[in-house]
């Protein structure tokens, strides 16, 4: 019986081979694209292998902040979307509904930075990217009674969960004390009073009992944030491999913490195969083999996004992986993101 980490290592070795071969691009072309876009040649090779054409790689790596919708999430614990839109427009902003999230607004123009609005201080909205709003929609935590946000960070998605379900406890874990302090400040500003924060490694989530919804918005390389100056940096293959090893451990623990019929959403702000479908596949196969129960991918319920990848570097995954959703800046005007929803039967 092979562990999830052993399975992952086999997949990573195949991926490394494809990246070393340049993903089908000539070395000189690879170097030129990397230089032009502030990327690592491994990164260019990864996307050449995944997306299959030089134009697509150029489109993805060439996307900039202006190509991504600027969005915010109206905090429906305090205000509805239309009322917030009217308040912001009265102050000179131009906004429209973000059609993929019932509380999202796309900001076309604003005379001042979003964080400077009095409405922000009052907790009427949270500044959140268009793809970043989607994992909680896929989780659909309404009606769940035990919910965990296994890598809650500053609470962007934990406070969004509160909007869907303000009564049930949301157990928010993170290993960063600094981030949990920011989470508490955000929760209090937004009036999300059902969040309980624990400074804890989510690999130990099993000690907290069973959950019926778990969000694992996993620590990742952040490769999907390349359009933004803060996210634009080279990411060699070794960095992706290290992230994937941690992700496998977190995902296995988080899935084991689900009760029967429970669901988990795995998301990353990365669009490479290694940190997403490969991680999920390695863990699902290992759990199945170990007799830990049946876990299957289910529809995310999201109304846009590309299908999950099922072919990469000579690796073929079962067709159910198409149920994952992929978001790219140059195709969807969002940050790069990948989202998979898994159910324990
Ligand atoms: C992508 S961020 C989460 C962002 C957050 N969901 C939000 O919407 O604001 C991933 C988080 O995982 C945390 N993390 C890293 N290793 C962890 C671990 N072993 N257990 C729990 N959290 C971890 C990081 O500190 C980081 O805050």
Q: 200 CA to middle of ligand 1, Å?
A: 11
184 and 123 within one domain? no
Q: 201 CA to middle of ligand 1, Å?
A: 9
Ligand 1, atom 9: nearest CA belongs to which residue? 156
Q: Which of 86, 104, 127 is the last residue of a domain?
A: 127
User: Which of 217, 155, 215, 216 shows the shortest CA–CA distance to 191?
Assistant: 155
Q: Tokens for 33?
A: 């694209």
- Tell me what pLDDT residue 293 has: 87
CA distance 168 to 171: 10
For residue 313, give its domain range: 134-344
- Whether 64 is in a domain gets the answer no
309 and 188 within one domain? yes
CA distance 343 to 345: 6
Q: Which of 127, 150, 172 is the last residue of a domain?
A: 127
pTM (whole model) above 0.95 = yes
CB 306 within 8 A of CB 325: yes
243 and 162 within one domain? yes
Please count the structural domains in the chain.
2
- Whether 335 is in a domain gets the answer yes
Longest CA–CA separation in the chain, Å: 63
Q: How many CA atoms lie within 13 A of 181 on its CB side?
A: 3
CATH code for the domain in which residue 91 is found: 3.30.70.1170
130 lines ligand 1 (CB under 6 A): no
Question: What are the start-end ranges of the H helices in the chain?
Answer: 4-20, 27-37, 41-51, 54-62, 81-90, 118-121, 134-139, 156-164, 177-190, 237-256, 277-289, 329-332
> Along the 345 residues of the chain, how does pLDDT read in single tens digits?
899 999 999 999 999 999 999 999 999 999 999 999 999 999 999 999 999 989 999 999 999 999 999 999 999 999 999 999 999 999 999 999 999 999 999 999 999 999 999 999 999 999 999 999 999 999 999 999 999 999 999 999 999 999 999 999 999 999 999 999 999 999 999 999 999 999 999 999 999 999 999 999 999 999 999 999 999 999 999 999 999 999 999 999 999 999 999 999 999 999 999 999 999 999 999 999 999 989 999 999 998 999 999 999 999 999 999 999 999 999 999 999 999 999 999
């Amino acid at each position: 019986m092979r562990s999830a980490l052993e399975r992952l290592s086999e997949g990573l070795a195949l991926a490394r081979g494809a990246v070393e071969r340049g993903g089908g691009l000539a070395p000189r072309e690879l170097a030129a694209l990397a230089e032009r876009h502030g990327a690592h040649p491994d990164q260019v090779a990864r996307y050449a292998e995944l997306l299959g054409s030089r134009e697509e790689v150029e489109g993805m790596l060439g996307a900039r902040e202006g190509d991504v919708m600027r969005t915010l999430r109206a905090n429906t614990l305090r205000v509805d979307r239309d009322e917030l839109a009217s308040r912001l427009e009265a102050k000179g902003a131009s906004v429209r509904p973000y059609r993929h999230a019932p509380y999202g607004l796309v900001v076309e123009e604003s005379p001042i930075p979003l964080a400077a609005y009095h409405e922000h201080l009052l907790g009427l909205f949270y500044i959140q990217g268009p793809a970043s709003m989607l994992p909680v929609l896929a989780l659909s935590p309404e009606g769940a009674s035990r919910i965990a946000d296994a890598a809650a960070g500053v609470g962007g998605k934990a406070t969004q969960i509160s909007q869907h379900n303000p009564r049930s406890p949301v157990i928010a874990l993170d290993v960063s004390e600094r981030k949990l302090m920011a989470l508490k400040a955000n929760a209090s500003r937004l009036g999300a009073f059902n969040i309980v924060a624990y400074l804890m490694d989510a690999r130990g989530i099993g000690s907290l009992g069973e959950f019926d919804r778990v969000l694992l918005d996993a620590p990742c390389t952040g490769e999907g944030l390349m359009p933004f100056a803060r996210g634009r940096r080279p990411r060699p293959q070794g960095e992706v491999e290290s992230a994937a090893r941690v992700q496998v451990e977190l995902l296995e623990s988080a899935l084991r913490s689900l009760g029967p019929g429970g669901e988990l959403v795995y998301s990353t702000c990365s669009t490479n195969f290694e940190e997403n479908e490969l991680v999920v596949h390695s863990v699902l196969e290992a759990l199945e083999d170990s007799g830990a129960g049946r876990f299957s991918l289910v529809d995310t319920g999201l109304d846009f996004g590309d299908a999950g990848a099922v072919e990469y570097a000579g690796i073929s995954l079962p067709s159910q992986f198409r149920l994952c959703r992929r978001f790219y800046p140059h195709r969807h005007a969002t940050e790069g993101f990948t989202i998979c929803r898994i159910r324990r039967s």
